């Protein structure tokens, strides 16, 4: 790579000088933030710095669920966090989805309003009867939609599952093509005159009275303001952020696949969907919480073999399948699931700690983060 000091006059005037807003991280949050900043600052010079040749965190690696909360996950969250925190976070996810679809045309990212199902194995205890009514009441308070959740007695037979006891349906969740969301955000940013510097690793930054100095792998950059959208990789700057690796596999095409839509199991720790005639299956972080705090983009035998076992026992008991792809991505968790959107100086702010529902919440984080600089 060429250090900034060796760039031409032309390159510097376009890319590295006179920057009003620098964003670190070209994930969903970084690019949504840039698009929102552009609306409020039409003439500003906005630059996104990304360490990878592609975004290299979670936004290009996720399962593509547009989800805001399965019944068993919400039940567990309500037992660990205050009701207010849980419902504020759900409301942010729902607002985020609306926000996402104002930024991006749903057709261009293959959005499917497929609904979702939360499956309980036969030996798992169903949720208390009144809990679905409570969830429906809360969702009605947030967006005026009635009967979002219901029990579905048919999905097990329709999909050909084995060993499933109870299934809860959610009408409002769906799926997108993860890769197309990122390329679409990138396309919109470029059309809005937002500069990208890929392959630059930010090492540190410091706030001064009228600018921020950013030390990077290729030298120092100056910017009037800095917005940090590095999610799990912001753990060295703020407390209460831990990396949470998540692993996924995708099968080869399966003949006469009967599974259509998005599915959660085990309080959201497992999730699967069809991608055309393949199955994408991910999760299992709870099998090795400690090991999955790694920021290495590796997969582990213990999790991959359990995903394969559940696939053959419960999800595809009558089909032969082969695994075609497996990978991991890194998201962030903390003592609560709410993201951190915070200014730490007058010219530096963070929009980080996106967990397993960053597709939904990301656009709303971008909006709220950019609003800190109105
Ligand atoms: C396997 C998996 C499945 C998931 N499934 C879903 C799902 O179905 N639905 C859902 O809503 N959410 C899902 N998520 C979560 C979701 O993907 C994340 O919450 C979301 O992508 C976070 O976006 P972000 O922009 O905050 O972070 P990221 O996408 O991680 O972006 C941060 C960027 O910052 C860059 N960066 C970091 N440090 C530096 C540095 N020092 N210098 C320069 N650049 C840097 C990284 O390279 C990265 O590109 C999943 C996550 C994973 C891993």
Beta carbons of 49 and 200 less than 8 angstroms apart: yes
Tell me the helix, strand and coil percentages in the chain, rounded to 5: 35, 30, 35
Q: From 26, 35, 57, give the residue whose CB has the most ligand 1 atoms within 8 Å, as the site to mutate.
A: 57
pLDDT at position 189, please?
A: 98
Count CB-CB contacts under 10 A for residue 324: 11
Residue in 292, 296, 302, 273 with CA at minimum distance from that of residue 57? 296
CA 65/CA 31 separation, integer angstroms:
19
Ligand 1 mean position, distance from CA 79 (Å)? 27
Residue in 185, 192, 186 with CA at minimum distance from that of residue 105? 185
Collapsing DSSP to helix, strand or coil, 349 comes out as: strand
Return the structure tokens found at 27: 């994930």
Say which residues have a Cβ less than 8 Å from residue 91's Cβ, sequence separation at least 6.
142
Residues β-bridged to residue 112: 175
Q: What is the largest CA-CA distance in the chain?
A: 69
Q: Atom 19 in ligand 1: which residue has the minimum CA distance?
A: 358
Could you identify the atom of ligand 1 that is nearest to the CA of residue 55? 49
Residue in 323, 167, 357 with CA at minimum distance from that of residue 246? 357
Say which residues have a Cβ less than 8 Å from residue 134's Cβ, sequence separation at least 6.
none
Length of the chain: 374
Return the structure tokens found at 333: 């968790």
Residues β-bridged to residue 169: 117, 150
Ligand 1 mean position, distance from CA 28 (Å)? 7
Q: Which residues line ligand 1 (CB under 6 A)?
A: 24-30, 49-52, 55-59, 61-65, 67, 201-202, 229-231, 233, 246, 248, 282, 329, 331, 354-360, 362
What do you get for the CA distance between the two ends of the chain, in Å?
A: 35
Ligand 1 mean position, distance from CA 27 (Å)? 6
Beta carbons of 253 and 277 less than 8 angstroms apart: yes
Please tell me what DSSP assigns to residue 126: P
CA 238 centroid distance within chain? 19
Question: pLDDT tens, 247-296?
Answer: 999 999 999 999 999 999 999 999 999 999 999 999 999 999 999 999 99
Count CB-CB contacts under 10 A for residue 156: 18
Element (H, E) at 150: strand 149-151
CA 223/CA 369 separation, integer angstroms:
17
Ligand 1 mean position, distance from CA 49 (Å)? 15
What is the domain partition of the chain in residue ranges?
1-112+176-236+337-374, 113-175+240-333
Q: Atom 16 in ligand 1: which residue has the minimum CA distance?
A: 358
Beta carbons of 195 and 3 less than 8 angstroms apart: no
Beta carbons of 243 and 41 less than 8 angstroms apart: no
Low-confidence ranges of the chain (pLDDT < 50): none
Residues β-bridged to residue 51: none
Return the structure tokens found at 216: 């990077």
Count CB-CB contacts under 10 A for residue 158: 11
Question: pLDDT tens, 207-252?
Answer: 999 999 999 999 999 999 999 999 999 999 999 999 999 999 999 9
CA 45/CA 15 separation, integer angstroms:
9
Count CB-CB contacts under 10 A for residue 12: 13
Ligand 1 mean position, distance from CA 331 (Å)? 5
Per-position DSSP letters for 6-29, written without gaps between them: G--HHHIIIIISSEEEEEE--SHH
Could you identify the atom of ligand 1 that is nearest to the CA of residue 25? 34
Residue 359 — left, alpha, or beta (φ > 0 → left; ψ -120 to 50 → alpha)?
Answer: alpha
pLDDT at position 273, please?
A: 98
pLDDT at position 129, please?
A: 87
Taking each helix axis as running N to C, give the angle between helix 71-80 and helix 129-143, from 0 to 180 degrees, rounded to the nearest 10.
90
Class of domain 1-112+176-236+337-374: alpha beta
Class of domain 113-175+240-333: alpha beta
pLDDT at position 272, please?
A: 98
Instruction: Give pTM, 2 decimals.
Output: 0.97
Could you identify the atom of ligand 1 that is nearest to the CA of residue 234? 38
Collapsing DSSP to helix, strand or coil, 69 comes out as: coil
Beta carbons of 250 and 322 less than 8 angstroms apart: no
């Amino acid at each position: 790579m060429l250090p900034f000091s060796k760039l031409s006059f032309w390159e510097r005037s376009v890319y590295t000088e006179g920057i009003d807003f620098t964003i670190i991280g070209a994930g969903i949050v970084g690019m949504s933030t840039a698009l929102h900043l552009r609306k409020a600052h039409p003439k500003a010079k906005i630059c996104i710095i990304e360490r990878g040749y592609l975004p290299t965190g979670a936004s290009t690696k996720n399962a593509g669920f547009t989800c805001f909360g399965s019944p068993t996950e919400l039940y567990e969250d309500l037992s660990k966090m205050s009701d207010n925190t849980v419902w504020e976070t759900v409301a942010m996810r729902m607002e985020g989805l609306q926000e996402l679809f104002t930024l991006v045309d749903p057709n261009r990212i293959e959005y499917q309003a497929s609904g979702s199902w939360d499956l309980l194995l036969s030996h798992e205890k169903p949720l208390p009867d009144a809990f679905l009514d409570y969830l429906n009441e809360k969702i009605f308070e947030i967006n005026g939609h009635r009967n979002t959740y219901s029990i579905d007695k048919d999905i097990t037979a329709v999909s050909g599952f084995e060993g499933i006891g109870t299934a809860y349906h959610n009408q409002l969740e769906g799926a997108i093509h993860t890769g197309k969301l990122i390329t679409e955000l990138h396309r919109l940013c470029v059309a809005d005159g937002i500069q990208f510097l890929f392959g630059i690793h930010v090492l540190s930054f410091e706030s001064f009275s009228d600018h921020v100095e950013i030390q990077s792998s290729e030298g120092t950059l100056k910017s009037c303001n800095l917005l940090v959208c590095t999610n799990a990789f912001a753990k060295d700057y703020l407390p209460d952020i831990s990396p949470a690796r998540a692993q996924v596999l995708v099968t080869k095409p399966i003949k006469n696949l009967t599974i259509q839509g998005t599915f959660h199991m085990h309080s959201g720790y497992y999730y699967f969907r069809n991608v055309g005639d393949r199955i994408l299956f991910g999760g299992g972080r709870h099998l090795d919480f400690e090991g999955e705090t790694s920021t290495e983009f590796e997969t582990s035998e213990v999790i991959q073999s359990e995903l394969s076992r559940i696939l053959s026992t419960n999800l595809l008991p009558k089909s032969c399948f082969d695994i075609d792809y497996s990978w991991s991505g890194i998201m962030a968790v903390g003592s609560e699931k709410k993201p951190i959107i915070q200014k730490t100086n007058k010219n530096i702010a963070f929009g980080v700690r996106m967990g397993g529902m960053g597709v939904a919440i990301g656009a709303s984080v971008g909006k709220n983060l950019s609003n800190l600089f109105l």
